[in-house]
Amino acid sequence: MGNAREMAIDSDDGGGGGGCGGAKRQKVDERGVRREAVGADGGCGSADRISSLPDELRQRILTRLAFKDAIRTGVLARGWRDLWKSRWPHSASVEVRLSSRNALRRELDALARKPHPRRRLDRFSLVVKKCNLKTSELRGFTDYAAECRVEDLHVEVRKGIEGKLNFPLSSPLLARLSLRRIGVISSLYYKGAQPFRALEVIRLHSVSISEVGFKNMMALCPSLLALNLRACHCDYFFYRPDIKRKRRSLVMPPNLRTVTVADCWGCASLNLVPVPCLRSFCYRGDFVNAPFFLPSDAALGDLYIQFADSVAELHNTKKLSDSLPKDLSGLNVLTVCCNALEVASRLLSIDDGANGMLPNINLHNLRELQLIMLRMEASNLADLYVFFKTFQCPNLERLFVQLPASMAMEGGSIGEVREEPPEDDLYNLLMVKVMNFNWRCSEVQLVSFLLRKASSLRKLLIVSPNVTPPDLPCVEADLLILKEALANGKIILSESDDITTQPYHSEVFIMD
């Protein structure tokens, strides 16, 4: 649920150009608008000249853009992420921060004295820090924002709200809604409620929402493009319309493109709910609670999977293999954790894959892969080898490997990796970045493998607390390859991370 990275890559021509020079990828932002971005930096990237302009000049640029377009600039670079919030003059943007009951009453009284008709607001932000907030008091702020026909509404409560919240907003221009720690949303429906036809982005953080509340929310948001849930209690609301239990019938907005779920409770299957335009799906949390059964006909452009628990057991392995869309040929960006990587090894070990459990996944258009290695032992390296053998990625250009930060060495002998490295070359791989490199044997073997297989590799970035190779029991041939690459400059070894070279999903779970 990131502020700037809730987008999907969607390419009608197979994912965009590869290689260097003028290679570009088509990206689609959180509002479903296609834009072009300079291709993956494999040592040939161009400078971000517009981001080097002073803030004042960039803000002047933003004032020339429509509200929605100003927000979309947040995907350009890290420095643009929050700049759109300050583009408006004070008269068009209101930010209220409350730290006491007295301040709360003063602000409510001040808003009540504002003359009618209310001036139009681009943005209204309410942050309640230390005092409790009653539902009626919150309604005083949100009613004012609605009367001002606000386009962007952010409500954040640090201590929670007393009672359940009905949220009858009526702003016809509301395009972006962000709610954080506001307690329980019982319903967005009320008598005479009108659809939020302009609402395109909903972000809920630490919110409890009932099944009925979610159903009504989706029904009232026909133009919704991005749905982001983080640390929410979701009351098992991802369900297909059910004739026998009509109260659980659910119809998702027809143009919904991005769904992001992180660290939530109570989410159920999404596979039976029609989401015809889904292009981006990101999930982090327990596998057993994951809304991970995706529509079989989903044409995903990017996919993020990070499980806190293992899925290697047979029933979970089968569940995961059945949960993916049948066609991933349009996938351009994939982030996957080691708990999911082991599934391919498990499926292949069962009757040598002859039982048909192994999904037919085509990753030929994959351009970027990020591996989140919660562990990095010999078995994890073997799983990674199996992944590259099973799901070949001939057009992969960028690879990010996030290693565990722990300094503990893996057990076992040096030659414990029982799986042979894949024979096929990663001949289009231009850039590799390895984070938390601690010179473990399996880590050295992985980097050695990449140096041998990536014939077009332009740079390999290694972020390590130990810039000098320690005296560890590794295969001498693998160490020799690394030392030669360090000597000729092919490997760039650093103690600090380079924020200019980040994976596509690096900010996917960042909230306002």
Please write the tens of the pLDDT for every residue from 415-438.
Answer: 566 677 777 788 899 999 999 998
Question: Would you say residue 14 lies in a domain?
Answer: no
pLDDT at res. 55 = 74
Report residue 477 as tokens.
Answer: 């041939």
Report residue 326 as tokens.
Answer: 């049948």
Q: Yes or no: say if 155 and 138 are a contact pair by the CB < 8 Å rule.
A: yes
Q: Which residues pair with 357 in a beta bridge?
A: none
pLDDT at res. 279 = 92
Q: Is pLDDT above 70 for 16?
A: no
* Residue numbers of the domain that contains 150: 88-285
Say how far residue 390 (Cα) sits from the centre of its chain.
25
Q: How many residues does the chain have?
A: 512
Q: Yes or no: say if 342 and 383 are a contact pair by the CB < 8 Å rule.
A: yes
pLDDT at res. 416 = 64
Are 83 and 94 part of one and the same domain? no
Are 318 and 280 part of one and the same domain? no
Phi first, then psi: what are they for 45, rounded to 5°?
A: -70, 160
pTM of the model: 0.76
Are 171 and 182 part of one and the same domain? yes
Q: Is pLDDT above 50 for 11?
A: no
Which position has the higher pLDDT, 442 or 41? 442
pLDDT at res. 405 = 83
How many domains would you assign to the chain?
A: 3
Please write the tens of the pLDDT for every residue from 58-95.
Answer: 777 777 677 667 777 777 776 777 777 666 555 688 89
Are 358 and 482 part of one and the same domain? yes
Distance CA 28, CA 281 (A): 13
Are 428 and 279 part of one and the same domain? no
CA distances from 300 to 14, 274, 282, 324, 383 (A): 12, 14, 11, 10, 24
Q: Yes or no: say if 169 and 192 are a contact pair by the CB < 8 Å rule.
A: no
Please write the tens of the pLDDT for every residue from 435-445.
Answer: 999 888 889 89
Please write the tens of the pLDDT for every residue from 154-196.
Answer: 999 876 565 455 555 667 889 999 989 887 676 555 566 778 8
Report residue 148 as tokens.
Answer: 């001002």
Question: Would you say residue 28 lies in a domain?
Answer: no
pLDDT at res. 199 = 93
Q: Which residues pair with 24 in a beta bridge?
A: 38
Question: Would you say residue 304 lies in a domain?
Answer: yes
Domain finish residue from 254, 285, 316: 285
Give the three-state DSSP class for 226.
strand
User: How many other CB atoms sit within 10 Å of the CB of residue 428?
Assistant: 18
Question: Would you say residue 425 lies in a domain?
Answer: yes
State the pairing for strand pair 152-157/123-128: parallel
Are 76 and 99 part of one and the same domain? no
* Best mean pLDDT range from 29-38, 448-457, 472-481: 448-457
